[in-house]
Structure 1
Amino acid sequence: MIKKTLAWFSILIFAVFSVYPILYVLSVSLRGDNAFQSQSLEIITSTSTLKNFVDLFTKTDFLLWMRNSLLVATMTTLLGVAFASTSAYALSRYRFRGRNMMLFSLLATQMFPATMLILPFYIILSKLRLIDSFWGLFLIYSSTALPFCVWQMKAYYDTVPKELEEAALLDGCSRWMTFYKIILPVSSPALVITALFSFLSSWSEYVIAAVVLQDPHLYTLPLGLRSFQASMATQWGLYAAGALIVSVPVLILFISISRYLVSGLTMGSVKG
């Protein structure tokens, strides 16, 4: 009984530490004095207002930034899922020269932060004339997220019995039909994890976007929110309101695919 009580108490403490920053940001977004710090612990006061949220949508380009971020994140997700699912299947099912070296190379890329690649990426994009272009972001985000996604998908494909494919081939299915109609449906948990990782890697990324995008009309949400900070002052109310709204799509995404998360993350690690 004592262990159970201590466990619940520990969970409660961690929950409070997790929820309090969110509530504090909510409090800042509802203030009308543009103040970040306050001596009061009240979240909603008599002076709280929704003015910051109204101004965010009516007086800034927030909707444009959100559209750009959705476009970039969606395209990156589609590219990540398409390339990871097909390349991981080839690495899982086929044996060819250089396969082990390719797997090692994919793993080795995860040892280095993406920021180390900013200069090489910038040189490549400038030669391709993709600076200040969404296609430049698609290329960078997809390539940096792909190694992890390939390893994740390969680990899951390794757990799928090969007898499923053999039975489909005997029934007259082509190799592509077998992959599309048999393997992909049973690999939905891994596909969800791949899509989630690709989406998150591009949705809130700032450093690479700040280097590639210069046109304010192409700003994504992180760049747009950064514009609220000036050298002499920061619009904390608008910043906090924007930060809360930015988290909503991610929260909805997590809730909608939560049933796939555990199986997708653990299946490939417990079977081989």
Structure 2
Amino acid sequence: MKRFSLSALALIIAAVFAFPTYWMLSTALKPSGQVLSSRYDLVPFEFTFDNFVTAVTKPGFSSFLTNSLVVTIGAVLLALVAGLLAAIPLSRLKFRGRKGFLLLVLIAQMAPLEALLIPMYLMMRDLDLLNTLPSLLLVYFATTLPFTIWTLRGFVNGIPAELEEAAMVDGCSRWQAFRRVTLPLLGPALVSTSVFSFVTAWNEFLYALVFMRDKTNQTLPVWLSSFKTAFGTDWGGAMAASVVFAVPVLTFFLIVQRNLVAGTTAGAVKG
């Protein structure tokens, strides 16, 4: 009875969280005349892909998609490289100021992104980077880097240093020991942090709206807001655009989801 009750509660919670996604998809498939209806049909009686055609053929969609992919993938790669280079010495080396640096990383992670808008804007203005994609790339990189450093450091701490020492005894240099022993074991950590960084950069709206005055440099979150005009909101097109907006994140997650489960090094011995 206890297991049944917990399973039923889990199904109810899952349904509550899944219902908005289902409602978004069903609204995207409804004809325009049935979107704003007084009837709440859980299953649409008529299906149409006109809303998706309207969304993807909206002017500027291809450039918005390209801009989002460029700044998101660029920020993820930079955060992974810089975070890994910072996490290794923070975990393996003892030096003066290490705890203070970790505290600064934690404070940077806790700082709300909206509170940094004005300082970031002034900094990008002084660097003459406003209305350019590198400004968004740098902001997203700075936003995701603290989490990447903190997470990767925790994973590195979980890998016994004796494995690297055993490799160096066998003739490997410190770099070779890291590349052949530690780096493969950090695969799940790199995947999990990349998923977080990707979702954070992909969903960001405020900086993309404020920094980019030229529409050709704006990203998909700003494109989503274009379905609301002074004459009303195209709810069917907005829901279809939201589905299209979620596809890259789901695709990325499906590609890397096998590696999300952290590997274990328990029982690893020198053979």
Map of 2:213 onto structure 1:
214
Paired AA for residue 96 in structure 1? F
Q: Distance in 1 between matches of 2:180 and 2:24?
A: 46
Q: Distance in 2 between matches of 1:42 and 1:233?
A: 23
Go from structure 1 to structure 2 and tell me whether the alpha carbon gap of 1:52 and 1:96 turns closer, same or farther (over 3 Å shift): same
Map of 1:13 onto structure 2:
12
Map of 2:21 onto structure 1:
22
Pair 1:242-2:241 in alignment: yes
Map of 1:173 onto structure 2:
172
- Whether contact under 8 Å (2:227, 2:233) holds in the other structure is yes
Paired AA for residue 15 in structure 1? A
Which residues of structure 1 form unaligned runs of 5+?
268-272
Give the 5 Å matches for 1:1-272: 2-33=1-32, 37-263=36-262
- Equivalent pairs: percent with the same residue? 36
**Alignment TM-score, normalising by the size of structure 2:** 0.90
Q: Distance in 2 between matches of 1:19 and 1:233?
A: 27
Q: Deviations over 1:32-73 (max 9, x none)?
A: 326754332324534431111112222433232222211111
Q: Distance in 2 between matches of 1:134 and 1:71?
A: 8
Q: Which moved more, 1:209-218 or 1:46-55?
A: 46-55
SS of the equivalent of 1:60 reads coil
> 1:230 Cα deviation (Å)?
1.4
Q: Deviations over 1:186-238 (max 9, x none)?
A: 11111111111111110111011111112111121101111111133112111
Q: Deviations over 1:130-189 (max 9, x none)?
A: 111111111111111111110111111111111222122233333323222221111111
Paired AA for residue 139 in structure 1? L
SS of the equivalent of 1:257 reads helix
> 1:18 Cα deviation (Å)?
2.0
- Whether contact under 8 Å (2:56, 2:241) holds in the other structure is no
- Whether contact under 8 Å (1:35, 1:236) holds in the other structure is no
Q: Distance in 2 between matches of 1:208 and 1:35?
A: 35
Which residues of structure 2 form unaligned runs of 5+?
265-271
SS of the equivalent of 1:102 reads helix
- Whether contact under 8 Å (1:34, 1:237) holds in the other structure is no
Q: Deviations over 1:113-146 (max 9, x none)?
A: 0111111111111111111111111111111111
**Paired positions, count:** 264
How well do the aligned residues superpose, as a CA RMSD in angstroms? 1.9
